[in-house]
Amino acid sequence: MHKAVVLGARFGGSATAYWLHKLFARDQVQVTVVDQWALMTYRPSLVMAAAAHPPMADQWHIAMKRRCETAGQHFIRDTIFRIDPERQLVYLATHPPLSYDTLFIATGSDPGWTSIAGLSPAIGGVCEDYLARETGARMRDSFSSIALCVGPLFQSPTDSPRLAGSLDAPAFEVAFLLDAWFRKQRRRDEITMTIVTPAAVPGEFLGPKSQELLSHALAQRRIHLIANAQYDHVSALDIFFKNKRPLQADKMIWVPPYIGSQLARISGIDDGYGWIPVDEYCVHQKWHNIYAVGDISTTALPKIGHMAMLQARNAVHHFYARQHKKKPSPVQPYVLHVGWMGRGIGLLTLSDWLYGGSREFVHIGVSSALAKAMFNHSYKTFSGWLPVMP
Ligand SMILES: Cc1cc2nc3c(=O)[nH]c(=O)nc-3n(C[C@H](O)[C@H](O)[C@H](O)COP(=O)(O)OP(=O)(O)OC[C@H]3O[C@@H](n4cnc5c(N)ncnc54)[C@H](O)[C@@H]3O)c2cc1C
């Protein structure tokens, strides 16, 4: 039987496992999923935890191991140590080497906490449950300034499209949610809020209409924006730039720099920058039985969960077409994103602007927030295997 191994079980890995289950009979392909966690932390909900609601960090764990096993797939909870593409083996920390015929890699990007001098998770983060929980608790302290910072995205110079920030959307979401919460607590007038981003505009991957709406909302809510930031170093209370005056902040919340994957580097399958180079079907440019989907791939731009799910669909359909000697058709990339704006509203963007297209549907309001809440709850209820997958 054909052995398919899926590395990672968050947005990309879970959707890959779903499509393998959907397209192949159990006796055709044996699927093994590997992740260091049996429970997936659902990142889109961490912004609420960081915005002064720390218990939320523990309410968004999804039983991916159980989801895969219920579907007859194997799930190995272990740390992936190295991939040997020549011998088609995955080396794990505590299990014997795992052999594969086809490998799907969805292990994401490493956070580049050490790529800016002085920066560390202790300064404040939002991207994992333990960081969002701690950050959320700190928001209840008394302080007078906060910076929400987006780290750079260290892309290969040849990648396209270009993005300056790792992922700016969560920083805006936390800022808007905190703005609303501080107002409720009657603390807003005491607190200066600043978003810092290497991008030229807020919402750099969204499109001009959404960017304008974000700029307007920032001005209206007195949230300052420092764009085009080039970080030099960071201390507990200051951010120093190469191209701007320093910013003092009592509290900071960072979406860290994205630096690619150490696993890809040490396995010798990266593009020289830690990202896995793939074609439009997510097939590795050199190793044709390896697919990479989600944040770890060169083509996942922006690095969002929706893109990871689209790529998983693309990759498994390509694998299916290859197995059945059919002609695959690649999924055209588009951005679908809803950001919380606080005050019960959300900003929905459906756009192919980043890829040179002209489509940009934007809606700001309560129904967009409801759509996001519904998606989040469906994702949790169905453990990522939605009745209708993107
Ligand atoms: C705060 C925040 C909010 C976000 N909000 C949104 C949103 O609203 N909408 C949206 O579309 N996107 C959002 N994103 C982006 C989204 O979460 C990511 O794009 C998505 O998680 C990428 O999925 P992935 O499967 O590629 O990688 P990851 O999510 O990074 O998952 C990688 C998986 O691989 C496992 N893994 C990695 N290395 C190893 C190893 N060596 N051994 C074993 N296991 C390993 C990890 O445990 C993890 O489960 C948000 C991100 C953040 C940080």
CATH of the domain at 220: 3.50.50.60
Residue minimizing CA distance to atom 3 of ligand 1: 44
Q: Which of 258, 277, 311 is at the close of a domain?
A: 258
Ligand 1 mean position, distance from CA 305 (Å)? 7
Do residue 87 and residue 119 come from a single domain? no
**pLDDT reported for residue 329:** 86
Task: Give residue 270's domain range.
Answer: 2-36+78-110+260-323
Do residue 86 and residue 11 come from a single domain? yes
Do residue 156 and residue 90 come from a single domain? no
**pLDDT reported for residue 331:** 80
Ligand 1 mean position, distance from CA 13 (Å)? 9
Helices (H), 119-162: 129-138
**pLDDT reported for residue 314:** 96
> What are the distances in angstroms from CA 190 to CA 175, 179, 342?
15, 11, 19
**pLDDT reported for residue 376:** 97
Residue minimizing CA distance to atom 14 of ligand 1: 304
Do residue 163 and residue 284 come from a single domain? no
Do residue 245 and residue 315 come from a single domain? no
Assigned domain for 154 exists: yes
How many domains in the chain?
2
Do residue 148 and residue 125 come from a single domain? yes
**pLDDT reported for residue 363:** 98
**pLDDT reported for residue 312:** 97
303: Cβ below 6 Å to ligand 1?
yes
Q: How far apart are CA 311 and CA 106, in angstroms?
A: 10
Q: Which of 323, 350, 368 is at the close of a domain?
A: 323
Do residue 159 and residue 265 come from a single domain? no
Q: Which of 258, 273, 293 is at the close of a domain?
A: 258
In single-letter form, the type of residue at position 227 comes to A
Do residue 226 and residue 308 come from a single domain? no
Cβ neighbours for 219, distance < 8 A, ≥ 6 positions apart: none
Q: Which atom of ligand 1 is nearest to the CA of 339?
A: 8
**Residues of the chain whose pLDDT is less than 70?**
none
Do residue 134 and residue 228 come from a single domain? yes
Assigned domain for 315 exists: yes
Ligand 1 mean position, distance from CA 11 (Å)? 6
Do residue 265 and residue 277 come from a single domain? yes
127: Cβ below 6 Å to ligand 1?
yes
Cβ neighbours for 362, distance < 8 A, ≥ 6 positions apart: 207, 209, 210, 213, 347, 348, 349, 350, 351
